[in-house]
Amino acid sequence: MRNLQFSKPAAWMTPLLLMVSILCVAQAPLPEPVTDQETELGRAVYNELRDKGEIIESSPLYESLRPVTEAISRVAQSHYPHPFKFFLVHEPHPNAFATPGGNVYVVDSLLYFVKNTEQLAGTLCHEVSHTIHRDAVARMEQDHKIKRREIGAAILLGPTLAQAMAISMIGDLNSLAYSREVESSADVTGSDICAAAGYNPWGLVWLFQEFQNADSEQLPQLLSDHPANGSRIQTLEQHFRDNPSVFSKFNPDSKSATPFSVPKDASSVQFLRPRDR
């Protein structure tokens, strides 16, 4: 008869189990299966980034990122039909960008760039809000002068066009030329998400304030293209004042921030291998 009780693992297994569990927590999520045109576009961008060797498959940095992304996802998920998934990528400038389908890409250096957890959470809440608002899809429709259903039809024609659109989208997302209104709207929704997730939504304001006097070469893409940061701060502050029941409990003073720490040795990074073509 089989013993159904769980027995303690043998001593020799302990380091093995520990290793397996560390590998599990430090790895990139699996992308969402393709179910509609948003996930299809998201998948095409994922494939392009993977083929460029940018997606980090495993890194201790995932452990620092995970608590923040889990808390944000718990709140944001009810506003979007596909699961949010956060991937670390390696690119020259600290940045974060969201694609249709729920994938959010976080450049590894952003985790070293932010001064506190609230700044990181604010950035990620902002990106998730672009997805909820379908800003990338709207932007693409505008850029390519084609309607949403035509994008869907175009993708059915074959992977080449979807791939071409993905490349174009990566270019768009990196240059981040959303209008000030679109950015402010993502800031506001992002602040609601951050507040509900328990992160002080002043984090994004602190990030803007810090950069107003900083060297523009050093700025993350998500902010450097927007000289109108002042008006984005004003819009956020107005939103906080208009909704005291949500926001008055948060301390506007950045001295109250929670330090964000990355693992001491985060150099053991593995990249996803490009697909076999």
Let me know how many helices (H) and strands (E) the chain has, helices first: 13, 5
Length of the chain in residues, anyone?
277
Cβ-based nearer residue to Zn ion, 110 or 272:
110
Closest distance of CB 220 from Zn ion, Å: 11
**Minimal CA–CA distance to 99: which of 68, 57, 55?**
55
Closest distance of CB 184 from Zn ion, Å: 9
- Site residues for Zn ion, window 15-74 (CB under 5 A)? none
Closest distance of CB 68 from Zn ion, Å: 18
Cβ-based nearer residue to Zn ion, 50 or 130:
130
Cβ-based nearer residue to Zn ion, 51 or 210:
210
- Site residues for Zn ion, window 157-186 (CB under 5 A)? 183
Cβ-based nearer residue to Zn ion, 56 or 222:
222
Instruction: Report the relative pairing of strands 96-98 and 103-107 from DSSP bridges.
Output: antiparallel
Measured distance CA(127)–CA(129) in Å, rounded = 5
Closest distance of CB 178 from Zn ion, Å: 5
Measured distance CA(189)–CA(204) in Å, rounded = 12
- Site residues for Zn ion, window 177-236 (CB under 5 A)? 183
Interior/surface letters 222-248, b for 16+ CB within 10 angstroms, e for the rest: bbbebeebeebbebbeebbeeeeeebe
Closest distance of CB 223 from Zn ion, Å: 9
Cβ-based nearer residue to Zn ion, 87 or 208:
208
Closest distance of CB 236 from Zn ion, Å: 13
Measured distance CA(124)–CA(97) in Å, rounded = 9
**Minimal CA–CA distance to 182: which of 148, 137, 120?**
137
Cβ-based nearer residue to Zn ion, 54 or 187:
187
Mask of contacts with Zn ion, 124-163, x by CB under 5 A? Answer: ----------------------------------------
Cβ-based nearer residue to Zn ion, 116 or 189:
189
Closest distance of CB 81 from Zn ion, Å: 21
Query: What letter would DSSP give residue 102?
Result: S
Closest distance of CB 65 from Zn ion, Å: 19
Interior/surface letters 51-76, b for 16+ CB within 10 angstroms, e for the rest: eeebbbbbbbbbebbeebbebbbebb
Output phi, psi for 262, to 5 deg.
-110, 155
Cβ-based nearer residue to Zn ion, 31 or 122:
122
Tell me how many residues contact Zn ion (CB under 5 A): 1
Contact between 159 and 275 (Cβ < 8 Å): no
3-state helix, strand, coil in the chain (%, to 5): 60, 10, 35
Residues engaged in binding Zn ion (CB under 5 A): 183
